Amino acid sequence: MFQDRLRAILAPAVQAAFNDCFGRSPDAGSIGFQPTRPEFGGDTTINVFPFLKLSGKGPEQTAQAVGGHLVKHVAEVAGFNVVKGFLNIEISDAYWLGFLKEADGKDILTFSPTGKQVMVEFASPNTNKPLHLGHLRNIFLGWSVGRILEAAGNEVVKVQVVNDRGIHICKSMVAWRMYGNGETPATSGLKGDKLVGKYYVAFDKAYKAEVTGLVAAGEPQAEAEKKAPILLDAQDMLRRWEANDSDVRALWAEMNGWVYDGFNATYARAGVGFDKSYYESNTYLLGKEDVLKGLEKGVFFRKPDGSVWVDNTADGLDEKVLLRADGTSLYITQDIGTAIQRFEEFPGLSRMIYTVGNEQDYHFKVLFIILKKLGFSWANELFHLSYGMVDLPSGKMKSREGTVVDADDLMDDMVAEARSTGEQLSKLDDFGETEKAALFTMIGMAALKYFLLKVDPKKRMLFDPKASIDLQGHTGPFIQYTYARIRSLVRKAAEMPGQRGQLTTDNYQLLAEEKAVLKLLHQFPAVLHEAASKLEPYLVANHAYDLVKAYNTFYQTVPVLKEADVERRTFRLALSSTVAATVAKAMWCLGIEAPERM
């Protein structure tokens, strides 16, 4: 496969070099190859420091000996240089040309099936409010990780957990009963999730007013916050829900139905979906029996008040309650049960990934430790894909106060910005209005997704809508524009007789601009493999940008269709086609569409 091509040649050659020069050789798997740093000559670099015990020589002597051996015995090695203990190897033009001949216009990111089934959980919305910008980072991250894993040969199961019960859901229900006058999505013209979110905000406003009134009447602040009538109503509604009160359950089902319709519309627009949805109302009682089994085995312990705890102090954490004194469960309890249920439900599951914000880092450390203590071997294959908060120039978002950046509104704004930018460029005169609308949607969504995905998920980030749409910047639209430019070039070549001949590798000397693009193409499978291993889509996003940036330098300085030499023109068209195929697959991995025309 493409990702193993150069290693398959160099690794055994390096072993042979060590054996011939020093009488001993390293294990092939221990030999690492990295792209050579731009300030040094060469294409791939080997660090010889780990192998000095084998050579019995200093780092520079070792690297010089190995490099000299490679130049003499390996046709693909054209030269080398040594910087301290780093051997920088120059690969021959013939190798790069052979790579392109093999790749010519193909999807070089195709991996063999691994036989592994991986579950990726993302989204996890609450049914008391619409999706917002923070959800979008979660959704695009989880979706992209799923696609990258799929591209790397895994079977991927995409799931969401819908938090559809609890006091926060009852707050919206109480406020709707008090102030809604029976309005529905149909009568109000609002999406269902927005309508329910409106009453969540209304609850908070009424609650604060009642607390203020109680404090003014002489009630201490802490007591006022507990005694506000609207809060007591919500607590009573929760008790009635748990008692399966038919009236409360009917209202709950109706309002949640509105929200699900709203969520599904947003998901469809965002281009994502799920193989299965789990609902907290069905899973919140899970885990209690598992905790009690763990108690019987001595994994957990009971305190004098009857509560059940786990002691994680030996793991550098603390004690954690799993069942309250009254026997009721907590979030950690149901997460224990849900994890067990999933591995029972999907017997072939080898790994599970939770896409959840970094405020839950501690929670997942505890969850994974507990599942290991319960003896589940698959607990070692659980991973918390933690990510940082998204900020805007205007500051933080607060759902209760209605100051969140609504996901639908943001997508509307991004598409509108794409339209404004596109119409200013005045290159769409032959586009019909339907074509324009589809294109602006592609560009706006690419801007949003790429901006959120190009950053290391562990980092907190600032989302800048204006910067994300720049056709000349480090953006999704810039990558889309380059792809569309290449596709236009290929179409023109197809319409011009004799533009492309037979691709050969005879006596072709690469220009620096051509080689720069080839090297980035060649690296892409390894980048995808690393992204799949580390669950970091930003590696794919940034490499795609580096590739199109290098291609644009090539395109602006080297003629393609105007090249008179058929061999050179053929090579450059093959190079362009392969870049387009690679960019399209990379964008697919990020959940971004690549338009044929822009």
How far out from the chain centre does Cα 506 lie?
A: 42
Is residue 490 in a domain? yes
Strand positions, DSSP E, 324-418: 349-357, 382-387, 390-391
* Within a domain: 196: yes
Which of 441, 381, 431, 437 lies closest to 411, judged by CA?
A: 441
Q: Name the amino acid, one letter, at 174.
A: V
Domain boundaries, position 433: 407-589
Residues 197 and 292 in one domain: no
Let me know whether 172 and 267 are in one domain.
yes
Q: Residue 316 and residue 372: Cα distance in Å, rounded?
A: 15
Domain assignment present for 213: yes
* 232, 248, 272 - which closes a domain: 272
Tokens representing 98 are 């052979």
The Cα 580–Cα 571 span in angstroms is 14
pTM of the entire structure?
Answer: 0.93
Are 261 and 313 members of one domain?
Answer: no
Token pair, residue 499, equals 């533009």
- Of 69, 91, 113, the last residue of a domain is 91
| 229 and 80 co-located in one domain | no
- Would you call 438 exposed, middle or buried from its count of C-beta atoms within 10 A (0-12, 13-18, 19+)? middle
456 domain-assigned: yes
Whether residues 242 and 305 share a domain: the answer is no
Query: Is position 161 within any domain?
Result: no
Task: Tell which of 59, 91, 123 closes a domain.
Answer: 91
State the Cα–Cα distance between residues 406 and 131, nearest whole angstrom.
6
CATH of the domain at 41: 3.30.1360.70
| Residues 422, 533 within the same domain | yes
User: Do 449 and 563 lie in a common domain?
Assistant: yes
256 and 299 belong to one structural domain = no
Note whether 242 and 300 are same-domain residues: no
- Comparing CA positions, the residue from 332, 410, 351 lying closest to residue 145 is 351
Give burial (CB, 10 Å; 0-12/13-18/19+) of 72: exposed
Is residue 572 in some structural domain?
A: yes
Cα–Cα distance for residue pair 133/116, rounded to 1 Å: 32
381 found inside a domain: no
175 plus 228 within the same structural domain = yes
**What pLDDT, on the 0 to 100 scale, is given for residue 571?**
93
| Tokens representing residue 332 in the block | 């950690």
349-357 and 276-279 beta bridge pairing: unpaired
pLDDT tens string, the chain, 598 residues long: the values are 455 789 999 999 999 999 999 999 999 999 999 999 989 999 999 999 999 999 999 999 999 999 999 999 999 999 999 999 999 999 999 999 999 998 988 888 878 899 999 999 999 999 999 999 999 999 999 999 999 999 999 999 999 999 999 999 999 999 999 999 999 999 999 999 999 999 999 999 999 999 999 999 999 999 999 999 999 999 999 999 999 999 999 999 999 999 999 999 999 999 999 999 999 999 999 999 999 999 999 999 999 999 999 999 999 999 999 999 999 999 999 999 999 999 999 999 999 999 999 999 999 999 999 999 999 999 999 999 999 998 876 644 444 444 578 999 999 999 999 998 887 766 777 888 899 999 999 999 999 999 999 999 999 998 888 888 888 899 999 999 999 999 999 999 988 877 777 777 667 889 999 999 999 999 999 999 999 999 999 999 999 999 999 999 999 999 999 998 888 999 999 999 999 999 999 999 999 999 999 8
The number of domains in the chain is 4
Question: Does residue 458 form part of some domain?
Answer: yes
Q: Are residues 306 and 245 in the same domain?
A: no
Q: Does 514 share its domain with 581? A: yes
The answer to whether 561 touches 491, Cβ cutoff 8 Å, is no
Question: For the domain that residue 491 is a member of, what is the CATH number?
Answer: 1.10.730.10
